[in-house]
A and B are shown apart, each in its own frame.
Chain A
Amino acid sequence: MAVVDWVYDGLLALLVLGLAAGALYSLSLYRAVVFYIALGLVLALVWARLGAPDLALAEAAIGAGLTGVLLLSALKHQPNKARLMGWPWLPGLTGIAILLLLIMMVKAVWGLPQGMAAVGQAALLAVPESGVEHPVTAVLLNFRAWDTLLEVLVVLLALLALRQLTLPDETFPDAWPLLLAWSRLLAPLSLLLGIYLLWRGADAPGGAFQSGALIAAGLLMLRLVGLSPALPWSRFGVRLSILIGPTIFLLAAMATASLGAGWLAFPPDWSKALILLIEVAATTSIAISLALLVGSDSRELNQ
């Protein structure tokens, strides 16, 4: 391993630690939020260094696009200054506990066997039978499709839980012309890039989640500058696009259970078509749900 790599990785690690410390300990909450957004971007670089481009894509779309909007809009309704806990003995005591934990965790990690886990090797060997060529997509939508189904349901549940809250009426100031023009260009680009990522997910990094997060970021930008209409829950099309992902996924699961080998065990001839169908439906649902989770107001979800 070349010295340059070590220097680069070391700098990345220091940057991660520094940004995390800034996000956790700076007294102004606004600064903490900005530090946290920057931390998300640096983590995307770390994922790329660790050979996980799928994660880098997802982290960049979520960390840069969605989490920033979320935290900043939550900050709008909160006092800016945050005190740390006042008890004088607490920091020292927690520090000692954390050190003990660190020693235990290092010991636990040190004992792990070298090399890839058996389940990973099995997954890599079975990729040709899955219907897609990219291993991560194969795991997500074929070998462990159960996890992905439940994840789509978690996103739906979060949105349904949000509907139970009384949300404020958000009004945004009129956007300035340059921002409007740039959003008009960038939002279609993010849609295009999202569809490309979805399509490419079959044989290269990309897929439903990255694509959904990217499209949600584009929708959110249009919403913040006032270019997109509201997406009210009362409208049939909105509910349909939110529910179509879980529905298609569940239908596929039931069909494979009653006609085929079992829950979400795709027959090899059909798997490519089934995976594509599920991915398109799931991307639609994830995009609309994430956009509503981050940026909706009372007109959209409470009625």
Chain B
Amino acid sequence: MTEFQLFLGLGLLLFLLGVHGLVLSEHTIRRLIAINVSGGGVFLVMVSLASRGDSVDPVMQALVVTGLVVAVSATAFALRLGSALTRAESSDREGDH
């Protein structure tokens, strides 16, 4: 087992990096990537906290397994919502001409 503090700090940094990117970017896909990077940071904090004892905390890990699947479902829906929005906007523009 490795020292957990390194990855705990990395998780905090990753979360904040994602927030920074989220604020600064204005493209849908980039924002979703930023949210997912932040989510990865949160998962990293949880998993490194799970391994701070002598044996690994199964509750935290189970929560993160759940979180991964929920994150990918939400991202899938959001991305396809974004694509639908782009299509609707471009067909509106064609309609105007």
User: A residues bordering B, Cβ < 8 Å?
Assistant: 1, 5-6, 9-10, 13, 16-17, 20-21, 23-25, 29, 32-33, 36, 39, 43, 46-47, 49-52, 54-55, 58-59, 62, 66-67, 70-71, 74-75, 77-78, 82-85, 90-91, 94-95, 98, 101-102, 105-106, 109, 112, 114-117, 119-120, 123-124, 127, 135-136, 138-140, 143-144, 147-148, 151, 154-155, 158-159, 161-162, 165-168, 207, 209-210, 212-213, 286, 289-290, 293-294
Contacts and interface: CB of A to CB of B under 8 A. Distances in A.
17 contacts: A5-B2, A16-B14, A17-B17, A21-B17, A46-B10, A54-B61, A82-B27, A94-B24, A109-B8, A116-B57, A120-B58, A120-B60, A124-B58, A158-B74, A158-B76, A209-B68, A286-B69
Interface in B60-97: 60-66, 68-70, 72-77, 79-84, 86-87
Given A51-B56, A71-B79, A109-B12, A39 B40 contact: yes
Contacts of A109: 8, 12, 45
Contacts of B69: 58, 62, 151, 155, 209, 212-213, 286, 290
Nearest to B44: A46
Given A16-B14, A114-B52, A94 B23 contact: yes
Contact of B72 (A67, A94, A139, A143): A67
Contacts of A162: 76-77, 80
A286 B82 CA distance: 23
Closest 9 interchain pairs by CB? A116-B53, A24-B21, A120-B57, A135-B58, A139-B62, A82-B27, A158-B73, A293-B76, A74-B79
Nearest to A138: B58
B87 A55 contact: no
A55 B65 contact: yes
A36 B80 contact: no
Contact of B66 (A90, A114, A127, A148): A148
A151 B70 contact: yes
Given A51-B56, A67-B36, A124-B58, 11 more contacts: A39-B40, A43-B44, A49-B2, A50-B50, A51-B51, A55-B47, A101-B16, A109-B8, A114-B53, A154-B73, A168-B83
What is the interface of chain B mostly: helix, strand, loop, or mixed? helix
B53 A78 contact: no
Given A155-B73, A290-B72, A51 B1 contact: yes
> Which of A25, A43, A74, A167 has the largest count of B CB atoms less than 10 A from its CB?
A74
A144 B62 contact: yes
Contacts of B51: 50-52
B58 A47 contact: no
B30 A140 contact: no
